Amino acid sequence: MIDMWVYDEMPPEEGMFVLDILSIYRFVEDYKRRNPKDKDVIEHLWNNFKGFDGNNETEYMGFVQFLIQTQGKFSEQMQYLVTTDNFNSHMPCVEKYKKMVQKWNDLGKKYQYPKEAILEILNA
């Protein structure tokens, strides 16, 4: 059963990319939890992980489902399971997420940021 979630085509660097974007959304969720009145972040279009396109980014979506649903990692994302249609964004997201990861790297790849840096990452 585990084979259905893992794709041979996904190189290790792509797996790391998925882990990076989920890490970004982990600290965004933490920020939102600690700052529930910050509408700039909470109402931002990219304030939560939307998943990956099931038609064109299937290997990424499958890996996310495996990490979150099967392994129980990044459990803070489970709250979005229904609203994201099982982490299927129904739109391409890889390029957007790559820009976000690049901005995160540019900012020092920390796991806690002030509002301004979070907005820079979300706006990338």
Whether 3 has a pLDDT exceeding 50, the answer reads no
Domain ranges (residues) in the chain: 2-123
Second CATH level (architecture) for the domain 2-123: Orthogonal Bundle (1.10)
Amino acid of residue 108 = G
Please give the Cα distance from 11 to 7 (Å, whole number): 9
- Predicted confidence at residue 2, as pLDDT, reads 45
Please give the Cα distance from 12 to 114 (Å, whole number): 30
- Predicted confidence at residue 8, as pLDDT, reads 58
HEC letters along 79-114: HHCCCCCCCECCCCCHHHHHHHHHHHHHCCCCCCCC
Nearest to 101 by CA among 46, 11, 23, 15: 23
Q: Kindly report whether the global pTM for this prediction surpasses the value 0.75.
A: yes
Residue-averaged pLDDT of the chain: 93
Whether 1 has a pLDDT exceeding 80, the answer reads no
> When comparing pLDDT for 101 and 7, which is higher?
101
Please give the Cα distance from 95 to 111 (Å, whole number): 22
Mean pLDDT of 85-93: 97
- Predicted confidence at residue 6, as pLDDT, reads 52
Amino acid of residue 10 = M
Tokens of 2: 């585990």
Q: What sign has the CA pseudo-torsion 10, 11, 14, 19?
A: positive
**How does residue 54 score in pLDDT terms, banded at 50, 70 and 90?**
very high
Mean pLDDT of 82-104: 97
